[in-house]
Structure 1
């Protein structure tokens, strides 16, 4: 396997590293680490590069530079450096973690399919090539194909917890929560300090309704990494389900104290405000989410719903339009709610058109037909008792909220 070849090559290079160059490389590395802590990323980048130039076998320097690239959203450069660190030291646990994180964040251009197939062709014994292809499939929401690639990677490296982690995320997205639970547990057995594995194990347990077990794993997540803000988001979701709104808000606040840019926490807090009919606060929170991430579709949709529920119908249509035309043209509930408004306005032709769009998308997603409406004038009757719904809570036609 090529990973072993790289290890042998690294050992040989290390033998021939001149003492002066090695020492100089370590000095640059220490300086770079200090600059990174001070958030002086450009200066840190230069020092990491000097460390690598002085000692091409300094895995920590590649890892450090990779972290800077990741922070700067230079994802391909980050992936290259994390791979190099792993090539030098295949047991470099933190580099494996960061490489997996980088794979997830990479937005692949159109030709990436061929690049990834070619990488597997050229290096069929390297499990990371299959992981990269799996992540690419995952981004395209082809979860079955992604899982297949992760399984191939795991056949080549059966005790790699980071490959197991990716496989577990695939299972989660497929709704195979018990399979996800089992694979995350295996990852944790191999790496007891793997915070992402503990967190996703908690999510898989929560999805199965195993709340007490989920809480236990969330606490373990925070033991390993006290700054893991998403753990508090799930704590908040548990309190939300129990309708303990103030306790839920307290958990979301904790998440944002640890990470002010945690958009899921802010979004969930907006849901609580909406449930409490604090609509202006909910609008403010959702707008703040969209300011950070204009593609956060549930926040845009919920803004439309809030305007809808407060009878600001033209504003509601404006936001449903944003959802369907600019963010996600397959967001079926936006069509349904917009159809309701058109019906209230007496524009049954547009209402019927939107309902047909809703029907087609619903059938495509679920394989099931919604209620059939054959004539435009039937739309009016259909929407007489309908209530616009938010997304984030458990399904309830009176008030439905949709979490990510």
Structure 2
């Protein structure tokens, strides 16, 4: 989760599966294909979903499910699945064609791209045309391309704080915090009343561990705009890091007093409640977040962790299942925690499968093996002989809540 101004992104997929899981996924996909031919769309949807659960790298299953969504007029879901199919197999022509058809019905980004490029062609000296294209690229998480457009705009209008600010957001999204800090400082110097510049500067400073400087910029944000709700969320994060729990809660309460729909504030407050072992309060806050945004995956994960910590294992399993099957199939810690429960129940086969999913996703995300014994023969032997400790001591000591 990011607390600054940011855009949604297109998810890239690159995973592995065991031979058994791959074959199982293909079988479900083939069954689904037959059901589509019989026009049994709901049943086909369920089978494609099972195929994806078995093998998250199966492009054909995403494509097939996208076709079903398209026929059911669930166009956003269709576009998401076609994109995932293309992410897995970039030369998947049918998926490209179907995605284009979907965009025709819902207002295609292709059309939006053309509008913006034509605006630049008509007036190549207008910096705002480049900014407009940059913002659109940013919404698609094409950060490098967005930054290139902001730089072009800045060449035409070097003193425009709005352009400088957007360039800073691009750097922030890419984790280039020092570059982001430089840009936000420039924007705030040019326009001292630019609340977003002060706030995002505070975020960039906080990301670098410059806590005192971050506090100063948060105070400047509130001087300019006393109703800037997210400033109190970052204040809360600082207090949480310092283990000043009551102070953190007070900040989150203030954020929600200003904006009752500030889900980040409610989500962070739930973390503090859980750390204080106020589990019912923590559950209430996380569930309130999910009621507003069912895709808020960290809140869903923390619900599972709270049930797990309090030995309500069936409820914990229910939430880990919901994450891996419906909300975010690439959420590695849900697989790891579910593997722990399977191990406790003596279902070592499923635990092993979940552990491998966790290990593969972690390797894909980080490029490194997780901090575990990662020799498959050794892990198999552990499962055959006893309930294994799947990960190193740090995670064995305590189930971790997700924070920012």
**Which TM bucket (shorter chain)?**
0.5 to 0.7
Match of 1:18 in 2: none
| Bigger relative contact order (CA 8 A; separation at least 6) | 2
Cα gap change, 1:153/1:377 in structure 2, threshold over 3 Å: closer, same or farther? farther
Q: Aligned partners of 1:174, 1:151: CA distance in 2, in Å?
A: 15
**Greater Rg over alpha carbons, structure:** 1
Match of 1:381 in 2: 388
Is this contact kept in 2: 1:202–1:215, CA < 8 A?
yes
* Correspondence list, 1:4-403, <5 A: 109-111=108-110, 112-370=112-370, 371=372, 372-375=374-377, 376-378=380-382, 380-383=387-390, 398=398, 400-403=400-403
**Which ranges of 4 or more aligned residues in structure 1 deviate by more than 6 Å?**
384-389
Is this contact kept in 2: 1:169–1:180, CA < 8 A?
yes
Count of residues paired in the alignment: 291
Quote how far apart the aligned CAs of 1:351 are.
1.8
TM superposition score normalised by structure 1: 0.67
Q: Secondary structure at the match of 2:299?
A: helix
Cα gap change, 1:206/1:257 in structure 2, threshold over 3 Å: closer, same or farther? same
Is this contact kept in 2: 1:206–1:214, CA < 8 A?
yes
Q: Aligned partners of 1:150, 1:259: CA distance in 2, in Å?
A: 31
Is this contact kept in 2: 1:305–1:388, CA < 8 A?
no
Quote how far apart the aligned CAs of 1:399 are.
5.5
- Greater CA deviation, 343-352 or 284-293? 343-352
Unaligned stretches of 5+ residues in structure 2: 1-105
Match of 2:101 in 1: none
Cα gap change, 1:116/1:377 in structure 2, threshold over 3 Å: closer, same or farther? farther
1:81-101 deviation digits (Å, cap 9, x = unpaired): xxxxxxxxxxxxxxxxxxxxx
Q: Aligned partners of 1:345, 1:351: CA distance in 2, in Å?
A: 9
TM superposition score normalised by structure 2: 0.67
Alignment root-mean-square deviation, CA: 2.3
Cα gap change, 1:214/1:122 in structure 2, threshold over 3 Å: closer, same or farther? same
Q: Aligned partners of 2:107, 2:262: CA distance in 1, in Å?
A: 24
Is this contact kept in 2: 1:348–1:377, CA < 8 A?
no
Q: Aligned partners of 2:366, 2:165: CA distance in 1, in Å?
A: 27
Quote how far apart the aligned CAs of 1:221 are.
0.3
Cα gap change, 1:378/1:256 in structure 2, threshold over 3 Å: closer, same or farther? same
Q: Secondary structure at the match of 1:382?
A: coil
Quote how far apart the aligned CAs of 1:117 are.
4.0
